[in-house]
Amino acid sequence: MMKAAMIRTILHYPDKRLREKGLLVSEITPAIQALADDMAETMYAAPGVGLAATQIGEAVQLFVIDVALDDEPSELRVFINPEILECHDQIVWSEGCLSFPGVNEEVERAAKVKVRAKDREGRSFVLEAEGLLAVAIQHEYDHLQGVLMIDHLGPLKKRLVSRKMQKRADADAGP
């Protein structure tokens, strides 16, 4: 009997675990598949369009994305050991991040990407993406390298967002 996916706690900046680089997944085990299921459940509950394993304190090369609109069928994609093979053109996108609640900032990214990864079953695939899917892939891939949305901002914006998140962390910690 399969265990039901559970909602995990999403780490918020400035949690140091967000800077950990994810380790390669050596084999697709039931535990890795269960982690992918938990991540999808967590992402949908948040709600968000993507979630990296490092955002829930699991330092492995795994992220999930679903950019389908609310009234469209799910397009859940699981990326294990992803590699970005190509990037083309530039786009500026207003990005949010589940690890930076309430923050949306303009980030410059590649408009189109080509990525290779394994799916939930361990099958290799190559995907060419553009628009929101391309941005989400780059955003989540960054997480697996310990790179955060804030790292793409200029010094002033970076300081403002960092201060805002630190205040939130201090308030959450309580007296």
Residue numbers annotated as active site: 140
Cα four-point dihedral sign 156, 157, 162, 165: positive
Question: CB-based contacts of 71: which residues, under 8 Å, 6+ apart?
Answer: none
Rounded to whole angstroms, the Cα distance separating 76 from 84 reads 19
Residue 156 three-state SS: helix
Residue 59 three-state SS: coil
Number of CB atoms found within 10 A of residue 91's CB: 15
Q: Where are the beta strands (DSSP E) in 16-123?
A: 50-52, 62-65, 77-96, 104-118
Q: What is the DSSP pairing of strand 62-65 with strand 50-52?
A: antiparallel
Contact between residue 133 and residue 65 where contact means Cβ atoms under 8 Å apart: yes
